[in-house]
A and B are shown apart, each in its own frame.
Chain A
Amino acid sequence: MRMSFVYLFIGLFAYLFITKAFAAFPASGSYKLQDYGFGSGGTATSSSTHYTTNATAGEVEFGRPGIGNYQLGGGLTYENMSNVPGAPTLSTGGGTFYNKLGVTLNTSNNPTDTQLAVKINTQYVQADDTLGANPVWQTNTLWGAGGFTVIGLTPGTSYTVSVAARQGSFTQSPFGPSASYTTANPQFAFYVTPSSVTIGQLTPATVVTAPTTVTVNMSTNGTGGGIVYVYDTNSGLLSSAASYTISAVSNDLTSLAEGYGIRGTSTTQSSGGPMEIVSPYNGAGANVGLVDSTKRPLFDSTAQPVTSGQGVFEIKAKASVTTKAATDYADTLTIIASATF
Chain B
Amino acid sequence: MTHALDKTYQFLFTSSMGKKFLLFRISSQRLRSFAVALILVFGTFEPFLFAAPAQAVTVTGYVRLDRIKVSTATGGTVCMTPSLTHTTSNDTVKVTFSNGDTSTYGYTLNTTGANWTATTSNLPTGASAWPGITAATPTVSGQTVTYTMAASQTLTAATQYCFNFPSASTLNSRATAHTDLAGTIVATDTTPANNETVNWAGTTVDGTTQFDSVSVTATVPSTFTFYLSAGTAALGTLTTTGSPNTAAVTLNASTNALNGWLAWIKNTNANSALVSASTSDGICVGGNYSTCTGAAYTTGAGNVHSLSSSPGYGVSAAAGSGTPTIATEYAGSATTFGSLDSTKYEQIASKNAPASGSTVTLTFGAEASATNKAATDYADTVYVTGAGQF
Give the interface of A toward B (CB within 8 A).
98-100, 127-130, 138, 141-144, 148-149, 151-152, 155, 185-204, 208, 210, 214, 220, 222-224, 229, 237, 239, 241-242, 244, 246, 294-295, 297, 315, 317, 319-341
Contacts and interface: CB of A to CB of B under 8 A. Distances in A.
Contacts of B104: none
Contact of B61 (A194, A331, A341): A341
Interface string B238-260: 00000000000000001011100
16 contacts: A129-B53, A155-B182, A185-B182, A188-B201, A190-B68, A191-B211, A192-B211, A193-B211, A196-B217, A201-B220, A202-B218, A242-B258, A330-B217, A332-B216, A335-B213, A336-B66
B174 interface: no
8 nearest A-B pairs in the assembled complex, by CB-CB distance: A191-B210, A338-B64, A186-B201, A199-B218, A189-B179, A128-B56, A188-B201, A322-B354
A332 to B, nearest CB: 6
A215 B339 CA distance: 64
A334 B221 contact: no
Interface of B: 50, 52-56, 58, 60-68, 77, 122, 124-125, 179-182, 198-203, 205, 207, 209-223, 254, 256-258, 353-356, 390
A294 to B, nearest CB: 6
B210 A193 contact: yes
B121 to A, nearest CB: 10
Given A204-B256, A324-B220, A341-B200, A194 B211 contact: yes
Chain A contact residues, majority secondary structure: strand
B217 A189 contact: no
A330 B215 contact: yes
Contacts of B77: 295, 338
Nearest to A199: B218
B214 A335 contact: yes
B53 A333 contact: no
B310 to A, nearest CB: 42
B356 A330 contact: no
Given A130-B56, A204-B256, A334-B212, A186 B218 contact: no
Contacts of A329: 217-220
Contact of B212 (A141, A152, A192, A294): A192
B361 to A, nearest CB: 21
Contacts of B65: 336, 338
A198 B218 contact: yes
A208 B64 CA distance: 33
B62 A339 contact: yes
Nearest to A190: B203
B126 to A, nearest CB: 11
Given A128-B55, A200-B219, 19 more contacts: A129-B53, A185-B180, A188-B179, A188-B201, A191-B211, A191-B212, A195-B211, A196-B217, A201-B219, A241-B258, A244-B258, A295-B122, A317-B218, A321-B356, A325-B257, A330-B216, A334-B213, A336-B64, A336-B67
A179 B344 CA distance: 99
Contacts of A188: 179-181, 200-203
B58 A320 contact: no
B218 A324 contact: no
B67 A340 contact: no
A339 B180 CA distance: 11
A324 B354 contact: yes
A83 B135 CA distance: 60
Contact of B223 (A185, A204, A244, A295): A204
Given A194-B214, A330-B215, A341-B199, A223 B68 contact: no
A51 B203 CA distance: 60
Contact of B64 (A204, A224, A229): A229
A211 to B, nearest CB: 12
Nearest to A130: B56
Contacts of A241: 258
Given A152-B58, A323-B220, A325-B257, A144 B52 contact: yes
A214 to B, nearest CB: 5
A273 B220 CA distance: 40
A323 B356 CA distance: 10
A189 B203 CA distance: 6
Residue of A185, A191, A204 most packed against chain B (CB within 10 A): A191
B199 A336 contact: no
B203 A192 contact: no
A295 B74 CA distance: 14
B258 A334 contact: no
A195 B214 contact: yes
A197 B214 contact: yes
B216 A237 contact: yes
B79 to A, nearest CB: 8
Contacts of B64: 229, 295, 336-338
Contact of B220 (A152, A202, A223): A202
A333 B182 CA distance: 26
A322 B355 contact: yes
B354 A199 contact: no
Given A193-B210, A334-B67, A336-B64, A149 B218 contact: no
B199 A321 contact: no
Nearest to A142: B53
A214 B214 CA distance: 8
Contacts of B390: 325
A325 B222 contact: yes
A203 B219 CA distance: 9
